[in-house]
Amino acid sequence: SCARGNSNRAAIGHLQRELYGRRYPVLLVRPDGSSVRLRYGEPKRILMMPLDSNTLPEAERKARLRRHFPSKPKAKEEETFEGINLDTYKKFWKK
């Protein structure tokens, strides 16, 4: 069996590789807002550096945590049929 690939093999499915064969231009954005153009191994438009939460003030750090991990939604009260007048819907019932 021949392991050589050709254009027909590439058309059937994607290649099983983790690294791309070339470098792609990417915009790197730093936490202070500055940006740098560099060459990256994957085709992306923008890369953002992670923000170090240890350097933030306490209030801003708590606000970021609240945004990332919102509180659970409150349970809604179940509707009861006690206050409904069934005579108003009598015309929709089939006899």
The pTM is what?
0.42
Per-residue HEC secondary structure of 1-42 comes to: CCCCCCHHHHHHCCCCCCCCCCCEEEEEECCCCCEEEEEECC
Calpha distance 20→42 (Å, rounded): 7
Per-residue HEC secondary structure of 38-76 comes to: EEECCCCCEEECCCCHHHCCHHHHHHHHHHHCCCCCCCC
Q: What is the pLDDT of residues 71-83, one digit of tens each?
A: 888 888 887 777 7
Tell me the one-letter amino acid at 16. Answer: Q
Q: What is the pLDDT of residues 20-63, one digit of tens each?
A: 678 899 999 988 889 999 998 888 999 988 888 888 899 999 99
Please give the structure tokens belonging to residue 86: 């069934």
